Chain A
Amino acid sequence: MRARMATTARIGYEARMRHLLVALIAAAFLSSCFISRDRANEPLRKEQIDSLSVGTSTATDVANTLGAPTEVVQLGKRSAWRYDFTTKKMSGFTLIVISFLNTDQRSDRCWLFFDETNVLRHVGSTLDAEDTRYAMPWQDVD
């Protein structure tokens, strides 16, 4: 009789411990995952950049088409204007005390170079903001 009661108590104790273990594992894996996105400025539109003509468009034309630049760099009597749009995507998760995070930041950039008379002479643009990805740190990202 006594032996049977001891066996029943042990089985009950093991069941409680098993439930506790399952709860701890569930808490560990569901504790936190997140994604976030930051954006700075407005996306650059290729057709707007393409509408500018090297050798004829002036700084005024550029300002009327693209708006105010993010940065103006004086190059002696010449100048260069920068337009950009940046996207940053973060993703990750936390397992109790250890976190895995991935940050991917790309931008659309356009630099316009003007001569001494404020006529557009050179344009360089890179539109990479769309390539920004949510990923885990071990995943391949181009």
Chain B
Amino acid sequence: MQRIAASLAIPFLCASCVSFAYQREIIEREPEAALVEGLAAGHTDLGHVLDVLGAPIEVWEGADGAPVLTYGGLRAGRWNIDVSLPVVDNGSASFSYTDTRARTRGFVLIFGSDLRLDIVRAGNLADLRRRYERRSPASVDDEAIPNAPRPAQEKP
């Protein structure tokens, strides 16, 4: 009896410095691959894609102002372990280990300027976006350009 009580009491004593959590995340719904495979590059137009797959989760501007549509979702479980230990009077050391087993996956559909489907790619959406998103011109710091005109200085 004593042993059972002691083993139950230990977790109570550790609760403030160690915690485990299992979290499942469901975010949106990834379209069925069969529906996407049924879309024919070069023939399917934007209207048909919207009819079949519904509203994308993202739209961005591709080459020549053509739309790029993103469909995807996340369904993943992961364990988190948090440990926090007091090491000095006014502080504590803590670390966290997260085992993320899944990231958002889905499809990127790239259209031509005639709004017909050009390319379909499947995979991790963050990677696909990095690969296909049109880059906006980077802002340039005037100070970095030697002969750039300087704003007029106010005289006191």
Q: Mark B16-31, 1 if CB is under 8 A from A, else 0.
A: 0011111111111100
Nearest CB on B from A10, distance (A): 11
Flag if B1 contacts A73 (CB, 8 Å). Answer: no
Q: Mark A90-126, 1 if CB is under 8 A from B, else 0.
A: 0010001111111111110111010000000111111
Flag if B60 contacts A76 (CB, 8 Å). Answer: no
Inter-chain CB contacts under 8 Å: number: 119
With known contacts A28-B8, A73-B61, A124-B54, A100–B21 Cβ distance under 8 A: yes
CB of B50 within 8 Å of the partner chain: yes
The secondary-structure label for the interface of chain B is mixed
Number of interface residues of A (CB under 8 A): 44
Flag if A97 contacts B20 (CB, 8 Å). Answer: yes
Residues of A within 8 A of B (CB): 14, 17-18, 20-21, 24-25, 27-28, 54, 73-78, 80, 82, 92, 96-107, 109-111, 113, 121-126, 128, 137, 141
Residues of B within 8 A of A (CB): 1-2, 4-5, 8-9, 11-12, 14-15, 18-29, 46-47, 49-51, 53-57, 59-61, 64-67, 77, 113, 115
